[in-house]
Amino acid sequence: MASVLPLLYTVPVKIRVIPRLDIKGPNIVKGVRMEGLRVVGSPAMLARTYYEQGADELLALDIVASLYGRSLDLDIIRSIAQEVFIPLTVGGGIQSLHDISHVLRAGADKVALNTFALRNPAFLQEAVREFGSQCIVLSVEAKRRGEGWEAYTEGGREHSGRDVVEWVKEALGLGVGEILLTSVDRDGTKTGYDVDLLRTIASFATVPVIAHGGARDAASLADAVVAGADAVSLSWILHFKECTIPQLKEGLAERSLSVRRSSP
């Protein structure tokens, strides 16, 4: 399907294409709307594959750490970090400044915070003060509720009762440096990103927004950028070899969108 969205926002100078690795135990998994998880492969192997394809950054999120009340497996994070030489954002189960420090020492460049931050918003401010805003990413798992969206926790499983727009505005006031905006409704569906959600957040966000959930092809990535995303995150179509990062970047370039074309 061709992109039909009008150009409503100024697109970023260089669009970042960011594969996302959802971790459960020793494996990378992928489901639909964060359910029905299928094993895809090993974290280190996939990280290396996407790095060699020309990924601009990498996301590695333990999607069950908070649900099970456990910490990240730092050995897995180290194994990923050893395979790539691009920025790595890591999240899942982080509940203290001590946890952040360990994750950074394991090789991460940034940390993504969701569940614990929603329950303890002041933690975001503490993390920013300790590590700098460029290191702290607000991870938002959004589900449509009426005319708006509710923020979810524990890998899109639990209600928070918080409106996504209100929560993002509060987090921006606490100093976060980036927003990872996941549409749980679109995750794994290959129906395109939630452009209404992206437009809404991008209309007031003062930091970069990474869109995730619903990637289908280069046209869907372009739609997300036009709606206000500074970067696009994707997993299913890469994991199951429906396309490659070079193919997606070529498709974005054909739509007059600027991408980083250099190989690692």
40-53 per-position pLDDT tens digit: 999 999 999 999 99
How many domains are contained in the chain? 1
Taking only the tens place, the pLDDT of each residue in 228-260 is 999 999 999 999 999 999 999 999 999 999 998
Q: Is the pLDDT of residue 263 over 70?
A: no
Q: Mean of the per-residue pLDDT values for the chain?
A: 92
- CB-CB contact of 168 with 190 (8 Å): no
- Report pLDDT for 157: 81
Q: Using alpha carbons, select from 65, 72, 68, 69 the residue that is nearest to residue 88.
A: 72
User: Quick check: is 228 in a domain?
Assistant: yes
Which has the higher per-residue pLDDT, 158 or 215? 215
Q: Is the pLDDT of residue 68 over 70?
A: no
User: Quick check: is 10 in a domain?
Assistant: no
Where in the sequence is the domain holding 215, given as residue range(s)?
Answer: 16-254
Torsional class of 74: left (φ above 0), alpha (ψ -120 to 50), beta (otherwise): alpha
Q: The domain spanning residue 247 has which CATH number? A: 3.20.20.70
User: Quick check: is 214 in a domain?
Assistant: yes
